[in-house]
Amino acid sequence: VQLVESGGTLVEPGGSLTLTCATSGFDFSWAFMAWARRPPGKGGEGLEWVAGINAAGVTDVYADSVQGRATISKDFAKNELRLQLNNLRPEDTGMYYCTKDSFFATYTTDYYPEYRGQGTQVTVVS
C-alpha cells in the first residue's frame, strides 16, 4: 500500500485548497479511505479524523469541525483521493494524512488508521 499526499501549502484565513493522495498497491475501487490531521502540539500516535468516504465513493462523512467546508472525493480514473477545504481557519493548521482502512467508520476520538501516507502540511495564517 502506497499513499502519497500533495497540495499542502500556506494559505490565509478564508482561503481554499485541495489536497490530493496518489494511491497504489491495492484495489482503490474497494477501499475505504479517509483524511486525518495532526494539529500542532498534538502528541501520541492518534490522529484527528477529518473526513471519510466509502469504497464506491458515494457516501461521505465529515468531522463537525469541517462540516460544510470540506469535500472528500475519489477519482477512480486516476486512483486518487482528494480533499477540498474551503473557508480555511487557523485551527485547520496541521499535517494532513491520507488513510486507508478495512471498514467505513467515523471517529470522534483519536484515530489510528491501518495505513497512512507521509502527510502534507497545511498552514493557515494571516
* C-beta separation of 3 from 115 below 8 A: yes
The owner of cell 502519497 is: 4
CA distance 55 to 42: 29
Residues in the chain: 126
pLDDT at 22: 98
pLDDT at 76: 98
pLDDT at 24: 98
What pLDDT digit, counting tens, does each position of 58-114 carry?
999 999 999 999 999 999 999 999 999 999 999 999 999 999 998 888 888 899 999
pLDDT at 25: 98
What pLDDT digit, counting tens, does each position of 18-62 carry?
999 999 999 999 999 999 999 998 888 899 999 999 999 999 999
